[in-house]
A = this chain, B = another copy of it.
Amino acid sequence: MKKHQVTIIDIAKELNLSKSTVSRVLTGHANVSIKTREAVLELAEKLDYQKNMLAIGLISKKTNTIGIIVPEFSSSYFPQIVIAAQEVATQAGYNTVFSQSNETYETEVANTKVMLANQVDGILISITRETRNYDHLKVFERKGIPIVFFNRVCDEMKVPKVIVDDFEGAFNAVDYLIKSGRKRIAHLAGPASLKISANRLEGYKSALRKNNMVIDEELIISYNLEVSKVKIYINHLLSLENPPDAIFAVNDPTAIEAIQIIKKKGLRIPEDIAIIGFSNDYASDLIAPSLTTVAQPISEIGSTAAQLLIEQINRDVSDWKAVTKVLKTELIIRNSS
């Protein structure tokens, strides 16, 4: 069915050498006569020889591959992180394999199994909004394969993590809304299972408290991040007896969806209602009105995570470090507030 692939044995036979010698040339080891070296190299080139990394990985127990698992790929957030991570990995001589968990626990588990089976040297992961059980991730620790979390982390595992200061970011956003005169600020929050949602919610509450404003639970809506649901919540909020004059959304896709819905309703942004998002996605500067948002150093998250992972890979299991890097956010004020 498949064509025969050329191996070092083919080269060895054709040149009347042993596979050892051919291997020596191809791996750049010393102690091979120039004649032989050149002959081998030439023939290898001629035959389109490519080393078989499966065999090499099998022997060396190292594949120079890192896995990246992200919950979704539809906003620009995760793709940007992946790009940055991949760049660092490539630089360090690692290949990357990545997969989406589609925000589904089962898929995430399946993905980790695949990565394990394919002998990745380490993984980078941002968990799904559903993930409550971490056994599939703890396996990596047990097997001595480094794991680094970013963005959505697992609290109970003592491994490197890269996050942003969600609390502070949210605090600053809400504090700014208050300072600019908003009286009733709603929060479209993410699921409580995610630490980032919880932290942003805390930041929101804290800013209200600090400014002596009441925390109206009616104005806090926690949802599962499915953008299609935003419409329901916006309708609900606007139909309240005492509707909000500002909305702080847990992320940019949510905020952007909100803007579109609110515009369609004929309300003015920011006059009637102000909106702030979180992350500074690519689209947030394009939409009209442009979105005020808490910017994350997205690329830095990816590159830092990859960096930490590679360092961990190069360390012996016995002295693994478990640093948590907390990156700063920055409030970017645009026209939606």
**Is A83 positioned at the interface, with any CB of B under 8 Å from its CB?**
yes
Also in contact, A50 and B113, with CB within 8 A (given A55-B58, A86-B99, A98-B98): yes
Asked whether, in the complex, the Cβ of B79 is within 8 Å of the Cβ of A73, the reply is: yes
Q: Which residues of B contact A96 (CB under 8 A)?
A: 97, 99
Interface flags for A144-174 (1: CB within 8 Å of B; 0: not) read: 1000000000000000000000000000000
Quick one: given A2-B317, A58-B52, A79-B73, are A97 and B95 in contact (CB under 8 Å)?
yes
Q: Which of A9-17, A116-124, A194-202 contacts B (4 or more CB under 8 A)?
A: A116-124
Residues of B within 8 A of A55 (CB): 54, 58
> A76 is contacted by which of B58, B76, B139 (Cβ under 8 Å)?
B76
Please indicate the chain B residues that have their CB under 8 angstroms from the CB of A287 in the complex.
286-288
The answer to the question of A336 belonging to the interface, with a C-beta cut-off of 8 Å to chain B, is: no
Contact with B along A280-305 (1 / 0, CB 8 A): 00110011100000000000000000
Residues of B within 8 A of A144 (CB): 2-3
In the complex, the answer to whether A5 meets B143 with C-beta atoms within 8 Å is yes
| Copies of this chain present | 2
**With known contacts A113-B50, A116-B50, A288-B288, A2–B61 Cβ distance under 8 A:** yes
Cβ of A238 < 8 Å from any Cβ of B? no
Is residue A265 contacting chain B, with contact meaning CB distance below 8 A?
no
- A73–B78 alpha-carbon span in the complex (Å): 11
Distance (whole angstroms) from the CB of A266 to the closest CB of chain B = 17
Quote the shortest CB–CB distance from A119 to chain B (angstroms): 6
A1 CB–B CB distance under 8 Å: yes
Task: Give A282 to B281 CA distance when docked, in angstroms.
Answer: 12
A residues at B contact (CB < 8 Å)? 1-3, 5, 48, 50-55, 57-58, 61-63, 65, 73-74, 76, 79, 82-83, 86, 90, 95-100, 113-114, 116-119, 139, 142-144, 256, 282-283, 286-288, 316-317
Sampled A-B contacts (19; CB under 8 Å): A1-B317, A2-B61, A2-B144, A2-B317, A5-B61, A48-B143, A50-B117, A51-B117, A52-B119, A54-B58, A54-B118, A55-B58, A74-B83, A79-B79, A86-B100, A90-B99, A98-B98, A282-B283, A286-B287
